[in-house]
Structure formats: C-alpha cells, structure tokens
Amino acid sequence: MSSSIIAEIIAIGDELTSGFRLDTNSQWLAQQLGDLGIVVLYHSTVGDDMNANVDVFKHAFTRADVVITTGGLGPTADDLTRQALAKAAGVELKLHADQVEHLKAFFARRGRTMTPSNEIQAHFPAGSVVVPNPEGTAPGIELRYRGPERETIVFCLPGVPAEMKQMFAQTLQQRLKGITGETQVIHHHVVRCFGSGESHIESLLPDLVKRGRDPQVGITASQGTISLRLTTRADSVEDCLKKMASTLATIDECLGELVFGFNDETLESVVAARYVESGKTIAITDAGMQGAPGVLLKKSAAPLDAAEIADFESEDVSHRAVEILHRAGSDVGVAIGPIERNEAIVAAGESNYVVAVAIKGSENVKIHEFLFSGHSAIRETLANKRVLNVLRLT
C-alpha cells in the first residue's frame, strides 16, 4: 500500500526530548491523518533550540508533502516555532494587526491586560495564513513552501492538546481533505495471538508479512502477546474490511487457536466474555501468582465463584482444582501451583509451575506445566497470561 501524500509530524519542546512529558499529540495526529488517507512516514521530536528547529524543518521540506507541528507557539523566550519556520523557509516575520487586536480582546474578556511579550504571537512568516485558535492565545500557522524537490504545506499548532484537537477539527481537517483530493481512509485491524513466539507465528503465515502486499501485515510482540496489524486503503472502513477478508481467513486457517482476539481485546477480556456468554463460572485457588489471574478476571467482569490465594504443593494441584470446584459450586476449578525450581533446567536459571483444571461433570483433571521463563521484567506477566490462555481454551 502506498500514498502520494507523505506526512511528517514534528513535536517541539524540551519537556518532550528530556522525557519529562509523553508526546501524545503526535500519536493522535497520526491517527487523524490515517483516517484521511494520509500516510505518516516520519515523526520528529526536537527541543527548544533554534538551530535544531530550523534543521528539522529543512529536512521535512525535502521529504514530506504535509508537515504538522505542535508546540513552541507561546509568548516566552523558548517558544521558537514561528521564528524557526520563517528562517527555514527564508522569509521574514510579519506583524498581523488583526491578530494583535484578537489577542487584546482575548485578555480583555478575562479582565487582564496583554503583556508586550504576547505580541510575538501576532507575528507570522511572510506568505502564511492564520489558523484560528478559538479558545487560546496561540493562533496556528499555515505556510506553503515551494522547495527544489517538492511543495510542502506546513501547519503549526499549539502544544496544548485541547486547543490542538479543536483547531484540527475546525480547520485542518477540511484543508487536508482538499489537499488529498480523495475521500479514502486508511484502516488498521489488529489480530491478537498468544501461545507461540513471534518468529514461529511469522513462519506459519506464508508471504503475509512480505512488504508491498495489500493489505500490509506487520507483526509485533509485547509481553508474550503477538499482534498482526493489517492495514489497507479504501473508500470506507467497510470496504477496507472486505479487502482484508481473504487475509484474515488465511490467518485464521494458519494460526487457529493461537488467535484469541482482535484490536483492543486482551486475554482476560476474551476469557470473561466467553464465560459470561456460556453461563459458566470459574473458581481459582492460587499458590504461585499471588492472585493476579483472579484480579485480572475480576476487572474484566468474569463470572468468578471464588478467587483465593492458598498455600499448597505442586503435587496437590489436581486435588485442589477438584476441591475448589466443589466447594465453590463452579463449572470450572483451577489450581495454580507454586513456582518451583526444576533441577533439569536450573542451569538456565528458570523455574516451572503447574496449572490444573477440573471441569464439572468430568472425572479427568487436565494438567498443564509451564516454564516460569522469559525476561525477568515480564516473567510474571507471561505466567499470568498462560493461565488465562488455559481458561480460554478450556
């Protein structure tokens, strides 16, 4: 999938480059541009330094058709966006008298007097136009720059999220629709998987992750959950899903029970929904996970008859699963054994644990043994997900 419209988003501010504040503006803007059929190929973040700002703008001019910036439009000495844009474009800053009056009226409505420093917000690069800011002092900037390689249209918005979003909805959205000259949307659909590693899952999907196909399929891993992100372009979300249908069917055929959900679904939400739909209930006794699986299921409104932390040995898991099933009167009883060192794998620094599942009306107890393995930062998360996955498949 490709697009003739390439976009770059630039987030400006020392608070972002220092890590003091998370840049959520760029994430939101990228989603809005995607909905308009504009592909964002570049994200840049730059601190409050004039030379660095000019450099980022100049690079953006060479590679993007649309540039949207957030931040740096305030009245203080570290707000450099308008000056940097003018310098990068090779134009002067011009005072807009009407914007001076707008600013004075803004302060007057609040019973305040505008300070001289605020007048900088009424200066705009020559040839640019004002992007109105209905509820703030920092108007935005729209500038069309014609460089030797391409023509770039730049929109500069304030960093305050509420103001930025309002200005995008009221002005930029229609301007960008006019620039694209089309009504197509880019739609993403995520397939969530658990139970195997990223490379193994990719090997099960012949040519689906190959670049250049439509729909495009990307694969990522996060704390044991493997996500397949399908992306395509069409006139509507419904048409995008139609284009994805054969690829989704191939994924389902190749991965089967490894697929547990879609988009924002989690293992716990899927398990909760499945048990609510079936009318069955669960009881858990937990000697190894400090009650975490039960907590996750409770938060997702799963029908739990009991969820307790207990103390027992691995050899007792079968008995404990049956015991809590009968004691709670549930349809499924689960016993999570303690995490224990296994001498066969002790050299690898790993442990193991056992999960027993008893089902009402069945004489057999299913035993699942797992390694307590993976990176130390996510071992507990992986262990909890394995328990939830057992319940999903029970």
Range 6-180 classified under CATH 3.40.980.10: yes
Q: Evaluate if residue 240 carries a pLDDT over 60.
A: yes
Neighbours of 365 (CB within 10 A): 18
Give me the CATH topology for the region 185-262.
Answer: Alpha-Beta Plaits (3.30.70)
pLDDT in tens, 96-124: 888 777 787 877 887 787 777 787 888 89
Angle between helix 379-393 and 292-299 (nearest 10): 60
Q: Evaluate if residue 35 carries a pLDDT over 90.
A: no
The single-letter DSSP state of residue 52 is: H
Domain ranges of the chain: 6-180, 185-262, 275-393
Q: What is the pLDDT of residue 184?
A: 74
Q: Evaluate if residue 1 carries a pLDDT over 50.
A: no
> For 149-165, b where at least 16 C-beta lie within 10 A, e where not — what string?
eeebbbbbbbbbeebbe
pTM, rounded to two decimals: 0.79
Question: What CATH architecture is 275-393?
Answer: Alpha-Beta Complex (3.90)
336 close to 283: Cβ distance less than 8 angstroms: no
